[in-house]
Amino acid sequence: MTVNLLDYERESLAVFCEGLGEKRFRATQLFRWIHQKGAREFDEMTDLARSLREKLKVRAYVKPLDVVSRHVSSDGTTKWLFDVGDGNAVETVYIPEHDRGTLCVSSQAGCAVGCRFCSTGHQGFSRNLKAGEIIAQLWFAEHFLRQQTGRDERVISNVVMMGMGEPLQNYTELIPALQAMLDDHGYGLSRRRVTVSTSGVVPMIDRLGADCPVALAVSLHAPNDSLRDQLVPLNIKYPLEQLFSACVRYLDHAPRDFITFEYCMLAGVNDQIEHAREIVGLVSRHGGGKTWCKFNLIPFNPFPASGLQRSGPDQIAVFAKILCDAGITTTLRKTRGDDIDAACGQLAGDVKDRTRVVERMARQRTVMFQPMRPFNDKTEKV
């Protein structure tokens, strides 16, 4: 049986090489060829003995994902659609900035969490991606961009596991992919520059801290359990008190001294003064102060099936001021790539849903949350 070497982090690759009767150090050479140099053909790997190259041709291959399409935004953001087989395709987004290049990577074909405001969740869920399919997104983007720009040095400096899927529900495949990203013989990314985003899979947050601590971002989106149950259904299983306790525990292992909370601003749903004040109280009860976390306020990127609307800029400003005045570091995320549906919450790919999520969400829409009374600066003061 032949294997795809993109599925292996370096230690597993060393075991594979030993199985071929080779020394373990050959794995490091092989790993560098695949990930640092982007080689697919074993004959390109000229410092490997010919006998090893012949063995590899029989027992292994390097197979990246096939590109279905590529779209480039007016702001330079690039989105690729990758074929992962069986009628499924996932999306990956590259966001260039003057001081960094960030790749947003998918971990699943679809998503089973079903957050109300996320286009991926409305597509349903097909399957977990393999480790090689996760790392193949970085492999392709890094070497494509190097070739396109004519650069020899690394182009992608940051990776965020914020694409399609819930990474911590694909933990077994996520970890080797992260290890390959961090490996100095692979992509050499800093733990501070690799971020795993989760909707709150509490037991896996603890495991990540023990196994492969990287930066952690939590999709919060509501300050109380009753509202979060509606917006992020996983909250029913892991409510806020459990989630925040896990985040505080993660700080003992995290490469940064804070946890990032993502908060999608939904008009009349989670953007009121009461909600901001609830957040202040929630943060204050945990971590011994307000400096242990940061908040990213994300303007909602609408899509027809959501039934939701973006909060207005004035309302977002009022909300942010309450958090900032309470000593909570708060930023407003700039929307990138929305003209090619590459912005946060817009990745949908092409998924053969086996969870019947479309039917379930259609039923839920009949009992949508009642919007709260909008803020009126004539009658209420911050």
- Return the active site residues: 91, 344
Q: How far is CA 261 from CA 79, 196, 293, 296, 373, in A?
A: 24, 12, 7, 6, 25
Cα torsion angle, 90, 356, 340, 198, sign: negative
What lies within 8 Å, CB to CB, of 206 at 6+ separation is 246, 249, 250
Q: Output the six-digit token pair for 73.
A: 């935004």
- Residues whose CB is less than 8 angstroms from the CB of residue 141 and which lie 6 or more positions away in sequence, other chains included: 80, 92, 94, 103, 156
Helices assigned H by DSSP within 191-349: 202-211, 225-231, 240-250, 273-284, 313-325
Tokens in use for 50? 């010919």
Strands 158-161 and 194-198: parallel
CA gap 322, 215 in Å, rounded: 26
For tokens 């049986």, the residue is 1
Cα separation, 29 vs 48, in Å, equals 8
Question: What does the radius of gyration of the chain's CA atoms come to, in whole angstroms?
Answer: 22
Residue pair 86/349 in contact (Cβ under 8 Å)? The answer is no
351 close to 309: Cβ distance less than 8 angstroms: no
> Closest Cα partner for 307 from 114, 120, 117, 122?
117
- CA 264 – CA 267 distance, rounded (Å): 10
Q: Could you tell me if 259 and 216 are in contact, meaning their C-beta atoms sit under 8 angstroms apart? A: yes
Q: Assess contact for 298 and 220: CB atoms under 8 A.
A: no
